[in-house]
Chain A
Amino acid sequence: MNSSQRQEVKLSWEDPVTSEYQNLLVQIPIALGRQLNQMPGEIAQRQVSRVVLNSSAVSRYHALIDWENNSCVIRDRNSKNGILINGQRRKNTILESGDVIEIGPYEIIITWGGDNKKSIFETNRSQIFFNPITNSLDSESEGIPSVVTTASESDRFPPPEFATPLQVSLQDIYTSGLSVDEIDYLTIGAGIGSFVFVDCLRIFGVTADKIIALGIDRKPYSRYKQLCLNSQIPLKERLRSNSDSCPDNIWGFPSYAWREAWHDLLRLRLFDAIGNLWQVFAEPTLAQTYTPRAGNVFDSIDREIKRIGWEKMYRYGRVLAIRKTTDGRYAIAYSRGTRDKRERAFLIANYLYLATGYPAIKFLPDLQAYREETQDFQSVVNAYEAHDYVYENLKKRGGTVLIRGRGIVASRIIQRIYETRRDNPNIGVIHLMRSPKPKGNQFKKAERFVENHFEFQPFNWPKACWGGDLRFQLERADSQQRQSLIADWGGTTTAARKDWRDTIDEGLREGWYKIEFGQVEKVEKEADFLITYIKNKNFKSTIHLQTDYIIDATGLDADVKVSPLLNDLVTHYNLPLNFAGRLAVSNDFEIEQMRNSTGKIYAAGAITLGGPYAAVDSFLGLQYTALRAIESLAASRSPGLKKLSPLNSFQQWLKWLNNRSPDE
């Protein structure tokens, strides 16, 4: 590139908080840093493009990209943590199109000239939706429609009364002739988040007849279990979850490790029992972190389902719209029909708790494009889709798999392939990563541990995010600081399990597992193979990788606007979203703009990421959310809810222990 051309360059990166793709077309010179006003607005009478990167690992004015002797050069501005170019530490260096600049948790790709054409990563729709009827991932589904339109306008649902006014009147709803029920507490989703909330309500004194959980699956863990099984966590496998993170037990005692130890002891497996207890005693420093088996977690939830009478409170339904009512409550329009039979109804509730989980599954745009073009849904899959046949075929015929993403799901898939290789050693893995990872995230005095380009952390956030000083820090922070903190603590990590680390070492040594770096240009089908074209930094040219399968293990996140229900709510009431594009909630998880005299709406789970709490999408985080919401409800004297004194809490715990109903 020539300086006289004043060409635009493109900076693109994956947002460390939401993992959405960001693209910026800017003119050189470019300043990169944490604070706008610390970066120069002009250099030698040329306007500077200032790019703000929010993270404490980024210095206020971190680096400058400018022309020097007709080359594009990046200079480190005495930053505290330095810069990496294509994984190598550099002070000053000449940049080439396609180079990866790493600053703190940001991995920015710079491109110009012919490389600058609109990238496939700029397409909008790159998700897989859950089928509204079956609730399983369905690449042809469009998600839950927010309005069911039928032939005649009078048959519209939700009815026209829901269309414009901010409040609907009860009278209008009753005259519709459809079934209407009234309830004090309603939770939407009926997944793990809803279950934990209902469990807390019951323990805090609310009787089952005051609660409804509305959702598509009878079991609260149905969707979760499906995602676990698809992403290769069979029931006997261990989750990535803390021992005292128990969705069936708000106290976290006895934790899963204690229960497992007890179970082993009864079967006279003394060493196993001691092993489990040693793990929770010494983790994560002297022992590998204990995590419960998936099957044990589901069984424990089943027991709690019975104990609290979940089945009496659960109701099948797909929620289409939520409106404030003129009497200070909320009207919920939902469909409870099946494919063949249409049935609609309303619920009127005083308090709402939204826990609808992931609106959709993220799918890499180049893979989405490949699928749309070829209609091949078999060889290119998302790790969260059912894809067991891939391993069956590999077992029979061998082959090569390309894995994208380096988080926990990638680890599972490698484990599964490792196991399959025992039956057929002719299986290879190419692990494609965008850039090398020589160094982990930094936060103040601590740094995350890295090995073989995997970044390790016992859980998906540093532990103190759940209930330590990091939780308080985030809660106190303003929106901009929150963005920086979440960028520092989050990112793609996996658990430092010894078996996984050994597998990677073994695979690298034996050559069946390879790591490649580069950015994908496109994926095509040639003969019987998939060809992934990547820009490879070492060869400075396009190379192609030939594989039989591609598995996208990059992530789950999706914007709340992807959910028709939430999108309708956000647009109808003009609700603010936080910097991560999720629902803005108060420190006790209320959507304050939805307050309707005494009526309140709370939100939990992934739809609140970017707010006062980092670990919202976890068992323990969902329990925290439920406790905060209940504390706030109790303060406003909502029906049947009592503050839990230490004595009450102890009595409730004894009931849990003896498997007796909370209201006995």
Chain B
Amino acid sequence: MTPTLLGRWQTRIVLFATVGALFTLPFALGIVGPDASGIPFLVLFYLALLGLIWDVLYNYLQQFRWDRDWPAVFQLIAGLWEAIFFSYLVEFIDLPGLEPGVPLQWFAIHYSLVWLGMFAATHTLMRILFPYWRFNGGQLF
């Protein structure tokens, strides 16, 4: 893919708000995971927020590539990196609303599902619903 910064931001926000929220719902309702709470949504919110900052870095790195592209494998590496960073962050910093010691295995499951859902959506659903999306560097508006 060849996203632009604006495209990364827009796509991230839209996907977190839709696919991300959908995959978070079972965790928030307690169908999956420890018990029903708003925490999974808060985690999702922080991930999205941090992601908007990571996007600036990714976009910068893209400039060093002749094709100015972002291979799918980079999407995966970025996804792993964001997860690791976040799990360390909650260990050491008190994010408002999140107590340290979020159960790591549940975070890993929640995060993997959200990430896989969004990864799949960028390669399928986004293209099918928005034919112009891939020509606009991921911009929707």
Q: Which A residues lie at the B interface, using CB under 8 A?
A: 244, 250-253, 280-286, 443-449, 457-458, 462-464, 466-472, 624, 627, 631, 644, 646, 649-650, 653
**Cβ of A284: which chain B residues have Cβ within 8 Å of it?**
67, 69, 71
Q: Is the CB of A468 within 8 A of B2?
A: yes
In the complex, chain B residues 103-134 whose Cβ is within 8 Å of any chain A Cβ: 123-124, 127-132, 134
| Bound: A318/B57 CA distance, A | 53
* A627-B137 in contact (CB<8A): no
Contact sample, A vs B, 21 pairs, CB 8 Å cutoff: A251-B128, A251-B131, A253-B123, A284-B69, A443-B66, A446-B63, A446-B68, A447-B66, A463-B69, A464-B137, A467-B137, A468-B137, A469-B2, A469-B137, A470-B2, A627-B132, A631-B132, A644-B131, A646-B129, A649-B131, A653-B128
* Assembly CA distance A284 to B69 (angstroms): 9
Candidates B4, B66, B71, B128; contact of A650 at CB < 8 Å: B128
- Structural contact, B129 and A470, CB atoms closer than 8 A: no
B64 close to A (CB within 8 Å): yes
Chain B interface residue number, banded? 20 to 34
Asked if A445 contacts B63 (CB within 8 A), the reply is: yes
Q: Which of A468, A624, A627 contacts B69 (CB 8 A)?
A: A468
In the complex the two chains form, what is the Cα distance from A463 to B68 in whole Å? 7
CA distance A471 to B3 in the complex (A): 11
> Main SS of chain B's interface residues?
loop
Are B135 and A466 within 8 A (Cβ)?
yes
Residue of B nearest to A469 (CB): B4
Known A447-B66, A467-B135, A469-B2; judge A253-B71 contact (CB<8 A): no
Q: A466-B135, A472-B137, A653-B128 are in contact. List 4 more A-B contacts (CB 8 A).
A: A447-B66, A464-B68, A631-B132, A644-B131
Q: Is B136 an interface residue (CB 8 A)?
A: yes
Among B62, B65, B73, B134, max chain A CB count under 10 A is at B134
Q: Assess the A282–B71 pair: CB atoms within 8 A.
A: yes
CB atoms of A251 and B68 under 8 A apart: no
Docked CA distance A458–B69 (Å): 11
5 nearest A-B residue pairs (beta carbon): A468-B2, A464-B68, A463-B67, A646-B129, A467-B135
B72 at the interface (CB under 8 A from A): yes
Cβ-defined contact, A624 with B67, below 8 A:
no
Number of residue pairs A-B, CB distance < 8 angstroms: 94
State A649–B126 Cα separation when bound (angstroms).
Answer: 11
Q: Cβ of A627: which chain B residues have Cβ within 8 Å of it?
A: 131-132, 135
A244 and B66 CA atoms in complex are apart in Å by 20
Q: In the complex, A447→B66 CA distance in Å? A: 6
Q: Identify the B interface with A (CB < 8 A).
A: 2-4, 62-69, 71-74, 123-124, 127-132, 134-137
Tell me the complex Cα distance, A443–B65, Å: 10
Distance of B15 from chain A, by nearest CB (Å): 14
Residue from the list B67, B74, B123 in contact with A464, Cβ < 8 A: B67
Q: How far is the CB of B1 from chain A (nearest CB, A)?
A: 8
In the complex, what distance in Å separates the CA atom of A627 from the CA atom of B131? 9
A650 x B135 contact (CB < 8 A): no
Residues of A within 8 A of B73 (CB): 281-282, 285-286
Nearest A residue to B61 via CB reads: A445
Evaluate contact between B4 and A446: CB separation under 8 angstroms: no
Provide the bound-state CA to CA distance between A408 and B2, in Å.
23
Chain A contacts for B72, CB-based, 8 A: 280-282
| Smallest CB separation, A474 vs chain B (Å) | 12
Given contacts A285-B73, A464-B2, A467-B2, contact A252 B67 (CB under 8 A): no
Q: Give complex CA distance A646, B132 in Å.
A: 11
Q: How far is the CB of B96 from chain A (nearest CB, A)?
A: 35
Shortest CB–CB separation between residue B98 and chain A, in angstroms?
Answer: 33
Of A280, A449, A466, A624, the residue contacting B66 (CB under 8 A) is A449
Residues in chain A near residue B2, CB distance under 8 A: 463-464, 466-470
Please tell me if the beta carbons of B131 and A253 are within 8 angstroms of each other in the complex.
no
The distance in angstroms between the C-alpha atoms of A244 and B131, with both chains bound, is: 12
Task: Report the Cα distance A250→B71, complex, angstroms.
Answer: 21
**Cβ contact within 8 Å between B128 and A468:** no
CB distance from B115 to the nearest CB of A (A): 15
Instruction: Give the CA-CA distance A458 to B74 in the complex, in Å.
Output: 17
> Which residue of chain A is the closest to B67 with respect to CB atoms?
A463
Asked if residues B131 and A446 are in contact (CB atoms below 8 Å), the reply is no
- Whether A446 contacts B64 by the Cβ 8 Å rule is yes
A251-B127, A253-B124, A646-B129 given; A471·B69 CB < 8 A: no
- Whether A472 and B129, one on each chain, are in contact in the complex, defined by CB atoms closer than 8 angstroms, is no
A56 CA / B67 CA spacing, docked (Å):
17
Q: A250-B131, A627-B131, A627-B135 are in contact. Are A464 and B63 (CB under 8 A)?
A: no
**A468 proximity list for chain B (CB < 8 A):** 2-4, 68-69, 137
Q: Is the CB of B67 within 8 A of A462?
A: yes
Q: Whole-angstrom distance between the alpha carbons of A401 and B39 in the complex?
A: 71
Q: Give every chain A residue within 8 A of B123 (Cβ-Cβ).
A: 253
B64 proximity list for chain A (CB < 8 A): 445-446
Residues of A within 8 A of B62 (CB): 469
Q: Nearest CB to that of A653 among chain B residues?
A: B128
A463 contact set on B, CB distance < 8 A: 2, 67-69
Q: Which residues of A sit under 8 angstroms from B65, Cβ to Cβ?
A: 446
A649 touches B129 (CB 8 A): yes
